[in-house]
Amino acid sequence: MIPSVTLVVFLLIVFVLMFLFVNTIDKRKWLTFIISVIATPFIYFYGFYPMVNIFSSYHHEKYFDSSSWKGSPSLRYEMSDDLVASKELIGRSKDDVRMLLGTYEWLSWNDSIHDKDPNYWNYGLGIEPGAMNDQKDNMLVVFKNDKVVEVELYQAPIIEKEPTGSEEATNAEE
């Protein structure tokens, strides 16, 4: 683990709170200090840190890499912010985008043509970890005149797929 400013600040906060708590039990400062120093890492790593990870929406960020994008579709959210911020796709042709990202996963619906629009490509980015997350991340790539003009990230509700008739029959036999 690499010590960072955030780690040190949070450890100090946990230490002070632990010191104040132990001080209510015993007024001897030297004993309170020793118990607080020993207990702080345990309280931090087994109590405070897991709670922060469960309730925060932090996730690892990675630079965009085409092979990782294609190889790990459920972890694309880690690279999506870099891909949008770097504007790497803007101005590229459909063939270039297909080479970098692979074939689109679905096309967006266009009410004006009453069909799926081949100029609106969508990619699933996976689900960011977190206890309160009920959304999946997606990316929309918009083309105009065969060139990318916009890349947009959006979220959609997670919908569980209901079994089809053949899957129900298989489940009934088991």
Packing angle of the helix pair 5-25, 29-43 (nearest 10 deg) = 130
Per-residue pLDDT at 161: 72
Per-residue pLDDT at 98: 94
Q: Retrieve residue 6's tokens.
A: 């955030």
State pTM to two decimals.
0.64
Residue 1 has pLDDT above 60, yes or no: no
Residue 128 has pLDDT above 90, yes or no: no
Q: Retrieve residue 61's tokens.
A: 């960020």
Amino acid at 169: A
- Cβ(81)–Cβ(148) below 8 Å: no
- Cβ(123)–Cβ(139) below 8 Å: yes
Percentage of residues of the chain with pLDDT beyond 70? 89
Per-residue pLDDT at 129: 77
Per-residue pLDDT band for 15 (boundaries 50, 70, 90) equals: very high
Sign of the dihedral defined by the CA atoms of residues 84, 86, 88, 90, in that order: positive
- Cβ(98)–Cβ(89) below 8 Å: no
Question: d(Cα 61, Cα 84) in Å, to the nearest integer?
Answer: 13
Every domain of the chain and the residues it spans: 5-55, 66-157
CATH 3.30.1450.10 matches 66-157: yes
Q: Retrieve residue 46's tokens.
A: 């087994």
- Top pLDDT among 165 and 25 is at 25
- List Cβ neighbours of 106 (8 Å cut-off, separation of 6 or more): 116, 122
DSSP 65: -
Question: d(Cα 11, Cα 40) in Å, to the nearest integer?
Answer: 7
Q: Retrieve residue 8's tokens.
A: 């040190």
- List Cβ neighbours of 102 (8 Å cut-off, separation of 6 or more): 69, 70
Q: Tell me what the pLDDT averaged over the chain comes to.
A: 85
